[in-house]
Amino acid sequence: MQQDSGIWSRMRLKFGHEVRSTYREHKLFWIATILIWLKTYLAYMFFFDVPVTNSAQAFILLINPISSALFMFAFSFFFRGNAQKWFIYGTLFVATLILYADIIFFRFFNDYLTLPVLFQTSNAETVSASLTSLLTWKDLLIVGDLIALPFFLRKIDMSKAVASRGRAILAFVSAAVVFLGNLTLAETERPELLTRAFDRELLVKNIGTFNFHMYDALIQSKTSAQKAMADSSELSDVQNFVGTKHAAPNPAMFGKYEGKNVIVVSFESAQSFAVGMKSTNGEYITPNLNKLIEESHYWENFYHNTGQGKTSDAEFILENSLYPLGRGAAFFTNAENEFRATPEMLKEDGYYSAVFHANNKSFWNRDVVYNNFGVDRFFSETDYELGNPDDMTEWGLLDDAFFEQSLPMLKDLPRPFYSKFLTLTNHYPFEMPKPEHELVPPLETSSTTLNHYVQALAYQDMALGKFIDGLKADGTWDDTIFILYGDHYGISTNHNAAMAELLEKDELTAYDVAQLQRVPFVIHLPGQKKGKTHDDVSSQIDIKPTLLHLLGKDYKDEIMFGTDLFSKQHKDYALFRDGSVITDEIVYTQETCFDRETGEELAAADSALCKESTKTSEKELGLSDQVIYGDLLRFLQRTN
Distances (CA, A) of 79 to 69, 459, 549: 17, 59, 67
Pairing of strands 581-583, 586-589: antiparallel
Cα separation, 342 vs 144, whole angstroms: 50
Which amino acid makes up residue 189? E
Element (H, E) at 485: strand 480-486
Cα separation, 50 vs 363, whole angstroms: 31
Nearest CA among 546, 538, 483 for reference residue 267: 483
Q: Which of 311, 423, 480, 546 is catalytic?
A: 311
Cα separation, 417 vs 410, whole angstroms: 9
By three-state DSSP, how is residue 391 classified? helix
Nearest CA among 210, 200, 201, 202 for reference residue 179: 210
Task: Check if the beta carbon of residue 421 is closer than 8 Å to that of residue 358.
Answer: no
Cα separation, 515 vs 599, whole angstroms: 10
By three-state DSSP, how is residue 466 classified? helix
Distance separating the N- and C-terminal Cα atoms of the chain: 72
Q: Give the rounded distance of the alpha carbon of 65 from its chain centre.
A: 25
Altogether, the residues listed in the chain come to a count of 640
Q: 583 an active-site residue?
A: no
Task: Check if the beta carbon of residue 329 is closer than 8 Å to that of residue 337.
Answer: no
Task: Check if the beta carbon of residue 51 is closer than 8 Å to that of residue 590.
Answer: yes
Q: DSSP letters of 171-204? A: HHHHHHHHHHHHHHHHHHHSTTGGG-TT-HHHHH
Nearest CA among 323, 272, 343 for reference residue 516: 272
Nearest CA among 212, 187, 210 for reference residue 199: 212
Q: DSSP letters of 121-172? A: GGGHHHHHHHHHTT--GGGHHHHHHHHHHHHHHTT---TTPPP-HHHHHHHH
Cα separation, 116 vs 94, whole angstroms: 19
Largest CA distance in the chain: 98
Q: Is 91 left (phi over 0), alpha (psi -120 to 50) or beta?
A: alpha
Q: Compute the C-alpha angle 52/57/60, nearest 5°.
A: 130
Q: Which residues contact 459 (CB under 8 A, 6 or more apart)?
A: 398, 399, 400, 425, 426, 432, 437, 438, 439
Distances (CA, A) of 329 to 69, 307, 441, 574: 30, 8, 35, 20
Active-site amino acid positions: 311
